[in-house]
Amino acid sequence: MDDPVKLIGAFGSPFVHRAEVALRIKGVAYEFIHENLDDKSDLLLAKNPIHKKVPVLLHGDRAICESLVIVEYVDEAFAGPPILPADPYGRAMARFWAHFIDHKSSRPSWLALWLDDGEEQKGFLKETKENLALLEAQLEGKRFFAGDSIGYLDIVASGLAHWIGVVEEVTGVSLVGDEYPALRRWSKEYTSDETVKQCLPSREHLTTIFAGKKEKLKTAARMMLQQ
Amino acid sequence: MAGGGGGDELKLLGMWASPFALRVRIALSLKGLSYEYVEEDLKSKSELLLSSNPVHKLVPVLIHDGKPVCESRIIVEYIDEAFSGDGESLLPADPHDRAVARFWASYIDEKMFTAWMPIFAAKTEEEKAEATNRTFEVAETLERALRECSRGKPFFGGDAVGYLDVVLGGFAAWVYAIEELFGLKQFDAARTPLLVAWLQRFVELDAVKEVMPDSGSLVELHKARQAQAAAAADDDDDEAN
């Protein structure tokens, strides 16, 4: 497929990172279209009318939305090293844990980080610790979730490898402590991978962003609690 | 890769009223696969369920040669991939069509199911009306999705039923039950004509008729649950006095 590839994204988004890593693993050249999420472009609204979010992958005249859908698309549409394993059971397991990260684990960890001290925050912290223990067990002595090299679940979990550390520093809340040696080792492996480094926003830059939005994010977390 | 060397023992842990379990039953039916069905009492979950899905403790769980697969959409894709030689392919062949199908499947679970919940929980007519309007928005969006995916053919999957038909179709019996319980037509001829025709076609399929629960039973189940909840609330009131 020689159709041009473009990625609509925003700096600092862990979801956009997922799409970029997948493209780079496959060696696909792409144009990055930088989106200002406070003033969304006609292009974004046209290509992702349902959710109006980044990332959006444009491949020729096709638009693909939702980071997990994009990663699977990239795996299937382009030649190169496989991102998902070949065997159906391995694929089902990778998808299961990806769904766990996005749907079960992310909300409590976000709330544990951004809520003020109190009963609720402690509750979410406890839940997060349990979720992290499950992910720790999934690594079970492997270098990456996928084995010897980066795969689908590593890409999906990348927020844990890099973004979480920044937010821990900004908020002073520790999530991925010493009781998760496998996750901590995996984080270093993931963030020092040559392909990943090409599309990983710097810690310094992310710290500036999160520190700058600290009050806004704390307010948003309190509102999230009402939902 | 069907019938691999003496294995292929399939067991499905489900619950008769669950739309998610129904998706898996329909998929197994479409593929012509035999399996042992285990009805779970969700108020008293079996050891097998708790050990097969320790993370969520939910149905459905498909156990294939002793290995559990959880999450209904993931199970349906698994069935399609592990039994690719049996029956029709559920996912389309083209990567973009597959991405579109997965996108809408995710939308259905994120928006449609959550739009329904407030209808069941509504205490006032106003709440019910607001909840109803939201479900209409979702239905109209799905109507556009059907037009886009079917390209004039009978199903989301084209000429034959596919993954997205199964994902949406898991809710078929509840669509009828909701109409009976709340007088609310999720898919109606004026707003969503394609979906109306699609639903009629879908529930007529042998593979679906074999496994779909009767919507009257779902109505009875909901009424029984309401009665139980009301009785429990009365007990609480008595205790407060």
Tell whether A95 lies on the interface with B, counting CB pairs under 8 A. yes
- pLDDT at A115 (0 to 100): 96
Tell whether B75 lies on the interface with A, counting CB pairs under 8 A. yes
Residue at a domain's end among B55, B82, B109: B82
d(CA B74, nearest CA chain A) in Å: 6
Range of the domain at B196: 95-215
CB B92 within 8 A of CB A76: no
Residues B208 and B109 in one domain: yes
The answer to whether residue B220 is domain-embedded is: no
Q: How does residue B3 score in pLDDT terms, banded at 50, 70 and 90? A: very low
Residues B202 and B101 in one domain: yes
- pLDDT at B23 (0 to 100): 98
Residues B118 and B184 in one domain: yes
Q: What is the mean pLDDT of residues B107-130?
A: 88
**Residue predicted with more confidence, B182 or B6:** B182
- Give the nearest chain B residue to A61 (CA atoms): B96
Instruction: Using an 8 Å CB-CB cutoff, list chain B residues near A66.
Output: 102-103, 106
For an interface test with A, give the residue of B67, B84, B102, B113 to mutate (most A CBs within 10 A).
B102
Instruction: Using an 8 Å CB-CB cutoff, list chain A residues near B74.
Output: 92, 95-96, 99
- Does B165 score more than 90 pLDDT? yes
Q: What is the mean pLDDT of residues B70-85?
A: 97
Rg (CA), chain B: 19
Q: How does residue B239 score in pLDDT terms, banded at 50, 70 and 90? A: low
Residue at a domain's end among B34, B54, B82: B82
Pick from A56, A51, A50: nearest CA to A7: A56
For residue B141, give the nearest of A50, A70, A96 by CB distance: A50
CATH (domain of B161) = 1.20.1050.10
Residue A158 CB neighbours (<10 A): 24
Binary contact (A96, B69; C-beta < 8 A): yes
- pLDDT at B224 (0 to 100): 94
- pLDDT at B113 (0 to 100): 80
Q: How does residue B1 score in pLDDT terms, banded at 50, 70 and 90? A: very low
The answer to whether residue B109 is domain-embedded is: yes
The answer to whether residue B182 is domain-embedded is: yes
Residues B99 and B165 in one domain: yes
Q: How does residue B120 score in pLDDT terms, banded at 50, 70 and 90? A: confident
- Does B128 score more than 90 pLDDT? no
For residue A92, give the nearest of B69, B95, B107 by CB distance: B69
The answer to whether residue B102 is domain-embedded is: yes
- Give the nearest chain B residue to A105 (CA atoms): B55
The answer to whether residue B155 is domain-embedded is: yes
- Give the nearest chain B residue to A91 (CA atoms): B78
Binary contact (B106, A66; C-beta < 8 A): yes
- List of domains in chain A: 5-77 (3.40.30.10), 88-225 (1.20.1050.10)
Please report the ipTM that was assigned to this predicted complex.
0.96
**Tokens encoding B83:** 């039994």
Residues B20 and B75 in one domain: yes
pTM of the predicted protein model: 0.95
The string of DSSP letters for chain A reads: --S-EEEEE-TT-HHHHHHHHHHHHTT---EEEE--TTS--HHHHHH-TTT--S-EEEETTEEEESHHHHHHHHHHHS-SS-SS-SSHHHHHHHHHHHHIIIIIIHHHHHHHHHSPSSHHHHHHHHHHHHHHHHHHHHHTT-SBTTBSS--HHHHHTHIIIIIHHHHHHHH----S-TT-HHHHHHHHHHHT-HHHHTTPPPHHHHHHHHHHTHHHHHHHHHHHHH-
Binary contact (A76, B81; C-beta < 8 A): no
* Range name among A141-150, B3-12, B175-184 with the lowest pLDDT average: B3-12
- pLDDT at B7 (0 to 100): 67
Tell whether B102 lies on the interface with A, counting CB pairs under 8 A. yes
Residues B68 and B156 in one domain: no
Tell whether A70 lies on the interface with B, counting CB pairs under 8 A. yes
Which residues are registered as beta bridge partners of B64?
Answer: B10, B67
For residue range B206-216, list pLDDT tens digits in order.
Answer: 999 999 999 99
Q: How does residue B229 score in pLDDT terms, banded at 50, 70 and 90? A: confident
Note which residues in 106-145 of chain B have CB less than 8 A from chain A: 106-107, 141
Tell whether B95 lies on the interface with A, counting CB pairs under 8 A. yes
Q: Identify the segments of chain A with pLDDT beneath 50.
A: none
- pLDDT at A1 (0 to 100): 54
d(CA B16, nearest CA chain A) in Å: 23
For an interface test with A, give the residue of B33, B72, B78 to mutate (most A CBs within 10 A).
B78
- pLDDT at A60 (0 to 100): 97
Residues B124 and B161 in one domain: yes
- pLDDT at A140 (0 to 100): 85
- Number of structural domains found in chain B: 2
Residues B115 and B211 in one domain: yes
How far is residue A26 from each of residues A6, A39, A90, A150, A195, measured CA to CA in Å? 14, 31, 20, 12, 10
Residues B64 and B151 in one domain: no
Binary contact (A73, B55; C-beta < 8 A): no
Note which residues in 143-172 of chain A have CB less than 8 A from chain B: none
Residues B76 and B109 in one domain: no
The answer to whether residue B196 is domain-embedded is: yes
- pLDDT at A227 (0 to 100): 74
The answer to whether residue B19 is domain-embedded is: yes
Percent of chain B with pLDDT over 90: 78
Residues B45 and B104 in one domain: no
Instruction: Using an 8 Å CB-CB cutoff, list chain B residues near A72.
Output: 98-99, 102
Residues B63 and B164 in one domain: no
The answer to whether residue B24 is domain-embedded is: yes
- pLDDT at B230 (0 to 100): 86
Tell whether B2 lies on the interface with A, counting CB pairs under 8 A. no
